A and B are shown apart, each in its own frame.
Chain A
Amino acid sequence: GNSVTQMEGPVTLSEEAFLTINCTYTATGYPSLFWYVQYPGEGLQLLLKATKADDKGSNKGFEATYRKETTSFHLEKGSVQVSDSAVYFCALSDGNDYKLSFGAGTTVTVRA
């Protein structure tokens, strides 16, 4: 079955630091990959996505590249802000079963 493994948190950083959250996946076929962000007290919001190998998704300074050879979709941001403090979820969908499989989430706290 499909599964997503992401880096365990919590992660605490200073403002302007570099952020990486690792995500690897197991899937049959050719899944689409997503990063969602959950700010405190809110629902999940789509941050970025990639639908095929070597695609790069980007949004709000965050980037992730779909690497089929390493089955990975690591999230990066070059300079984080306090407002990036949130829980980040990696997810995949193989498009066949209408289901999104989520990783366990990584809590990121950015200090001023």
Chain B
Amino acid sequence: DTAVSQTPKYLVTQMGNDKSIKCEQNLGHDTMYWYKQDSKKFLKIMFSYNNKELIINETVPNRFSPKSPDKAHLNLHINSLELGDSAVYFCASSQGGLPGSPLHFGNGTRLTVT
């Protein structure tokens, strides 16, 4: 059974469009995250939610808006897509607040903006 699943796996779209990526976890975790991985494999945290409350909001353009309808879901909506948004976006979850609690990652969504 997939623990953290995100859809779609690939997303190809044109500049200016709006798109969404969905994420669901069945691990019973209370904290979920979005990370962006660039072409050099560097990982940067974007957002984190704990029990549906936004707790981390890094320096991300406000074209990116996360939404957490419940503890098991965290979606990412991106408005007015730009070429620089092309990357792999990873969803992750953890049992937040516990020392040593690892993150569990989805398999990523490769976003290509043309």
One of A17-25, A67-75, A93-101 contacting the partner: A93-101
User: Contacts A99-B45, A99-B56 hold; do A32 and B100 have CB atoms under 8 A apart?
Assistant: yes
User: Contacts A32-B99, A95-B97 hold; do A102 and B43 have CB atoms under 8 A apart?
Assistant: yes
CA–CA, A36 to B103, complex, Å? 10
Residue of B nearest to A47 (CB): B102
Query: Does B34 have its Cβ within 8 Å of any Cβ on chain A?
Result: no
Of A34, A43, A98, the contact of B90 (CB 8 Å cutoff): A43
Q: Is the CB of A44 within 8 A of B100?
A: no
The 0/1 profile, CB within 8 Å of A marked 1, for residues 73-114 of chain B is 000000000000000001010101111111111111000000
CA–CA, A107 to B45, complex, Å? 20
Q: Is the CB of B107 within 8 A of A98?
A: no
Question: Chain A: interface residue count, which band?
Answer: 20 to 34
Contacts of A42 in B (CB 8 A): 107-108
Contacts of B90 in A (CB 8 A): 43-44
Q: Is the CB of A43 within 8 A of B107?
A: yes
Q: Is the CB of A97 within 8 A of B100?
A: no
Q: Is the CB of B100 within 8 A of A98?
A: no
Q: Is the CB of B100 within 8 A of A49?
A: yes
Of B31, B48, B94, B106, the contact of A43 (CB 8 Å cutoff): B106
Q: Is the CB of B43 within 8 A of A89?
A: yes
Q: Is the CB of A98 within 8 A of B102?
A: no
CA–CA, A105 to B48, complex, Å? 22
CA–CA, A44 to B94, complex, Å? 13
Query: Does B55 have its Cβ within 8 Å of any Cβ on chain A?
Result: yes
Query: In the complex, what's the smallest C-beta–C-beta distance from A96 to chain B, in angstroms?
Result: 9
The 0/1 profile, CB within 8 Å of A marked 1, for residues 31-68 of chain B is 10000000011110100101000011000000000000
Residue of B nearest to A100 (CB): B103
Of B41, B96, B104, B105, the contact of A98 (CB 8 Å cutoff): B96
Query: In the complex, what's the smallest C-beta–C-beta distance from B104 to chain A, in angstroms?
Result: 8
User: Contacts A51-B99, A89-B43 hold; do A99 and B105 have CB atoms under 8 A apart?
Assistant: no
